[in-house]
Amino acid sequence: MKLRSATLMDVAREAGVSKATVARVLSASGYVGEETRQRVEAAVKSVGYRPNVMARGLRTQRSLTIGHLLIEITSNPFFAHVARAVEREALANGYKTFLFNHNKNSEQERFGVERFIERQVDAVIFTYPVDAESIAMLRAADMPVVQIERQRTADTHAVLVDNVAGIEAAMAHLLQFGHRRIAFIGGDPALFPHPGVRARSLEEDRLHTYLDALRGAGVAIDPDLVRLGEYVRLEDGSDVEGYGHARALLALKDRPTAIIAGCDVLAGGILRAAYEAHLRVPDDLSLVGFDDTIAGQLTPRLTSVAQPMAELGLTAFQLALASIEDPDIAPRTVTLAPSLVIRDSTGPVPVRATR
């Protein structure tokens, strides 16, 4: 048998006052006699009253809940960190978040949006949106939306990362160490369609910055050193995407002395290929990761372009909250800077290769 927990009415009875008075005491608004206030507060304790957020939400039309749609929290620690940051900020403001994983599948994303609407969330955050249609559904329901990392449509808030600056920092670091044969393993622009809001997609930003940095250093571009694909492809828990690309690169007659990876998980696969080829990192090969998620847990610890995951989540929630409090504010786009974290996987170009 399930016994209901104490309600406002129970407190009122216990204190010998009306529901309205109890409500006033709890919301600390309106005039309440000092003596009554104390009686009510005592009653609240004695019956163990806890407000019912559902009932409150029904009345106020606010669920104090926001929805967070993401790719898949287990596929890349990046998502877990961003989700955690959103949750932290939400909690600090009296909110809770609902998570939903869509696996880059637009039907699943749509399904998640429907669940969120049913549950009356006050706003929805995407990391990142797959289908513009999902955003349109939420706009139709007048729900504030924030897009993290990739901006599909221009009509909502967005929190982005300056990928150009990230790759520039990584390239400068490697060039300074004397590397000239630098390979790039990253996301394929064709697999991540251009949303149309910004001039270049995230993948294009990174790729072009890599090419520009080489040109800037007077290095001829070798197409063999550019390998594009997915960011995460696991088989039996092992990354096979970075592994496969790295095997191909290391088998080249004139193999690269350094590799930039589009994500730390990819970099894990690259390290495995290097180990099997009996190459030591960074002595024989330098490696830079991206995200700074598992970088420190790999061997050697990876130099990596750190995404500002905590700030991404925090800013996204704050934008959502701003629109909850005033639905009419104009959409804002915030771009955050990544930072290069230098660890043990990068070093001077091998002597052999400088000849």
Between residues 34 and 236, which has the closer beta carbon with respect to a second copy?
Answer: 236
Exposure string of 1-22, with b = 16+ CB inside 10 Å and e = fewer, is eeeeebbbebbbbbbebeeebb
Q: In Å, how far are 228, 292, 299, 304, 344 from 296, measured between CA atoms?
A: 24, 8, 8, 9, 9
Residues from 202 through 261 that contact a second copy (CB under 8 A)? 234, 236-239
Using CB under 8 A as the binding rule, whether residue 46 contacts a second copy is answered as no
What does 17 interact with, of DNA, a second copy, none (CB < 5 to 8 A by kind)?
A: DNA
Between residues 223 and 237, which has the closer beta carbon with respect to a second copy?
Answer: 237
Minimum Å gap between C-beta 35 and DNA is 7
Minimum Å gap between C-beta 55 and a second copy is 5
As beta bridge partners, residue 335 has 160
What does 237 interact with, of DNA, a second copy, none (CB < 5 to 8 A by kind)?
A: a second copy
Phi-psi region of 203 (alpha: psi -120 to 50; beta: other; left: phi over 0): alpha
Between residues 60 and 328, which has the closer beta carbon with respect to DNA?
Answer: 60
Q: What does the angle CA 85 – CA 90 – CA 93 come to, to the nearest 5 degrees?
A: 135
Using CB under 8 A as the binding rule, whether residue 295 contacts a second copy is answered as yes
Site string for DNA, 50-89 (x = CB under 7 A): xxx--xx-xxxx----------------------------
Using CB under 7 A as the binding rule, whether residue 44 contacts DNA is answered as no
Structure tokens at 180: 């000239």
Site string for DNA, 3-32 (x = CB under 7 A): -x--xxx------xxxxxx-xx-xx-xxxx
Looking up tokens 């002595």 gives 283
CB 231 within 8 A of CB 263: yes
Question: Cα–Cα distance between 132 and 301 in angstroms, integer?
Answer: 38
Residues that bind DNA (CB under 7 A): 4, 7-9, 16-21, 23-24, 26-27, 29-33, 35-37, 49-52, 55-56, 58-61
